[in-house]
Structure 1
Amino acid sequence: MPANYQKEKHVAYVTISNPNKGNILDRATSDDISEIWKTIWEDKDVRVAILTGEGDRHFCAGHNLAPPPGITEEERERIRTESIFWPLSGTVNGAKIGADGRLGDHYPQIWKPVIGAINGWAAGAGFYLMLTSTDIRIACDEHAQFKFALLSQGWVGGGPGATFLTRQIAHADAMKILLTDEPFDAKEALRINLINEVVPHNELMSRAESIAEHISSLPPLAVRMMKEFSIRFKDIPVTEAWRVQTLINSLLTQLTTDGDEGRLAFNEKRSPNFTGGIRQKAEAFPELTPTDREHLEQSRRELLG
């Protein structure tokens, strides 16, 4: 298969594995990745994923630009032109989004942490894949190279790659990448905060696994809600986002077993055991007498005021 999936304990491994073709995203590979994202999302035992490419030359070198078998170049051009005005139903700008986002790289919205182990070239759709699908990025010092790889083709790109890039790093750094379309190495990617760490090739997967192991030890529902909140609500006013964060926090503390486990473990001076359990629906709180209500309100002001 052009994309491989494995699971060890709470960690999912996603490997693009067509190294002879630069680990490109052809239709078969994209479909595989889309199904893998869906599997990861629906498997509650998976708490974190590692995304990488097979070999030491390419993380992902881009899309397969050749027309699919049976479609002529003329038909392809007509389809692309008509899609400007009539994109497929159920898509955003012609691309599926969600856990099984079509083409794998187009905004898959996996609300679980994804660690990118960038083992080689991330170019074109591979660059998109890194931007849209990974949260923490570890790059190989010897082989990782990066290139937006669209402007030099005469394009700006039909996906959200440029938008993601300008929101993830500083303006001047993003514009240099977009407007020169020149490649750059892992050290430069680290300098501009596009990635988190640079490690030798023989330490790449072990470092990614170390981070994944730590994340998988944390409360899984809180982790996934933190990711979703941080991405979904980053563009709304602070006071509105704060309210949403407070509501999410209340859901976690009141409706998950981990909400109590963290507090109890801290008070009992022991390591917590987070399971991701959800509480059953409980009976309503009993009605209070006026005296009890006054006492509770006084306690509430002392606690929260």
Structure 2
Amino acid sequence: MSFENILIDIQEHIGLITINRPKKLNALNKATIEELHEAFKNLEEDPDVRVIIITGAGEKAFVAGADIAEFANFSVYEGSQLAAKGQELLFNLIENLSTPVIAAINGFALGGGLELAMACHFRVASDHARMGLPETSLGVIPGYGGTQRLPQLVGKGRAMEMILTAGMIGTEQALMSGLINHMVAQEQLIPFCEKIAGKIINNSPVAISSAIASINAGFGSNGYRKEIEAFGECFGTEDFKEGTTAFLEKRKADFPGE
């Protein structure tokens, strides 16, 4: 498997995916999402791969959000399609993959990056990682499942606070709230994930696949469809235009509230 934006390494039944856009802090653009889709599908079909680990290149960022320049001028329809296609191609795909996926959060996991990590079956973070959903500071809402998966992981109140303040939290708070399963030193991140993967590999692949499907069944709802609609509607607001323009111009947004 050869890709432009990601790296794949398979060893001892573990498939390691590294998002390799360090100059862009591994931000998710359309091409990267499509490559990740193909990589996950290929790894799931490989009988030698029993666990998948996903991380980001370098020590600064897991994924520092989506590539905002790609969608700053989208219409309501295009915004809705962006969320719907992204959820179908990648985020829902990962959540429902029969092969366990571990997110190894090696730095900033913001916006789409945190949504990517939350779509994984569980998360391990380095002790200097920072996580958040800053979308409301851009005049939009999380559109890749963030409004649904974050409350499932940390509870409604904490999710409300994180999303409405658009703030970031550190690894210790993420650990206490249940957003991540483990916190480790940066140099131990991948080895620690591989150690957990080794324990999973010792168990029945059929039973693991059934367990994933059964656990996910308890969280099914129409919330993701509502998120897609609301995400798209944000693209028709003056607040969205101001928020994305301010971000790209590297200034503070002055939202008109309309």
> What's 1:33 paired with?
36
Distance 1:28 1:83 in 2: 17
In 1, Cα distance between equivalents of 2:168 and 2:10: 33
Greater CA deviation, 120-129 or 226-235? 226-235
TM-score (norm 2): 0.78
Could you list the per-position Cα deviations for residues 4-31 of structure 1 after superposition, in whole angstroms to 9, with x for gaps in the alignment? 1111121110110111110011122112
Higher relative contact order (CA 8 A, sep 6+): 2
Contact 2:64–2:113 under 8 Å retained in 1 = yes
- Which residue of 95, 104, 107 maps to 1:117? 104
Alignment RMSD:
2.2
Unaligned runs of 5+ in 2: 222-258
In structure 1, C-alpha distance between the alignment counterparts of 2:92 and 2:211, rounded to whole Å: 21
Shift of 1:83: 4.4
Match of 1:137 in 2: 123
Residues in 1 aligned to 2:84 and 2:8: alpha-carbon distance in whole angstroms = 27
- Given that residues 95 and 106 in structure 1 are in contact (C-alpha distance below 8 angstroms), is that contact kept between their aligned partners in structure 2? no
**Aligned mates of 1:67, 1:137 — CA distance in 2:** 28
Q: Tell me whether 1:199 sits opposite 2:189 in the alignment.
A: no
Does 1:12 find its partner at 2:12? Answer: no
Q: 1:136 to 1:94 in 2, by over 3 A?
A: closer
User: After the TM superposition, which residues 153-302 of structure 1 pair with which residues of structure 2 at under 5 Å, given as runs?
Assistant: 153-234=138-219
SS in structure 1 at match of 2:70: coil
| Whole-angstrom CA distance in 2 between matches of 1:38 and 1:159 | 19
Contact 1:120 1:145 in 2 (8 A): yes
2:91 touches 2:145 (CA, 8 Å); kept in 1? no
CA drift at 1:162: 0.8
Show the counterpart of 2:60: 57
1:106 Cα deviation from its structure 2 partner: 5.2
The Cα shift of 1:111 comes to 2.1
Query: Cα distance 1:26–1:234, how it changes in 2: closer, same or farther (>3 A)?
Result: closer
Pairwise CA distance, 1:107: 4.8
Q: Residues 4, 84 of structure 1: CA spacing in aligned structure 2 closer, same or farther, 3 A cutoff?
A: closer
Q: 1:95 pairs with 85, 105, 108, which one? A: 85
Which residues of structure 1 form unaligned runs of 5+? Answer: 237-305
Q: Displacement, 1:173?
A: 1.4
Deviations 1:94-152 (A, max 9, x none): 3265xxx43x34554312211111100000110110111x12211101x2000101011
**2:76 maps to 1:81:** yes
Distance of 1:83 and 1:30 partners within structure 2: 16
Q: Distance in 2 between matches of 1:28 and 1:235?
A: 28
Q: Which has the larger radius of gyration?
A: 1
Provide the rounded CA distance (Å) in 2 between the counterparts of 1:153 and 1:118. 24
Q: Where does residue 46 of structure 2 map in the other structure?
A: 43
Once residues 228 and 153 of structure 1 are traced to their aligned partners in structure 2, the CA distance between those partners, rounded to angstroms, is 35
| TM, length-normalised to structure 1 | 0.66
Q: Is the 8 A contact 1:136 1:195 kept in 2?
A: yes
2: CA distance, partners of 1:225 / 1:58 = 33
Measured after TM superposition, the shift of residue 235 of structure 1 is 5.0
Change (3 A) 1:49 1:84: closer
**Counterparts in 2 of 1:84 and 1:140: CA distance versus 1, 3 Å:** closer
**1:67 match:** 70
**Identity of paired residues, percent?**
29
CA contact (8 A) 1:139 1:199 kept: yes
Alpha-carbon displacement from aligned partner over 1:15-63 (angstroms, at most 9, x marks no partner):
1011111001112211211111111221122111111111100000111
**Aligned structure 1 segments of 4 or more residues deviating by more than 6 angstroms:** none
State whether residues 83 and 94 of structure 1, in contact with CA within 8 Å, keep that contact through their aligned partners in structure 2: no
Tell me how far 1:169 sits from its aligned partner. 1.6
Distance (whole Å) between structure 1 residues aligned to residue 205 and residue 37 of structure 2: 22
| Residues 26 and 64, structure 2, Cα contact 8 Å, conserved in 1 | yes
Q: What's the offset of the Cα at 1:232?
A: 2.4
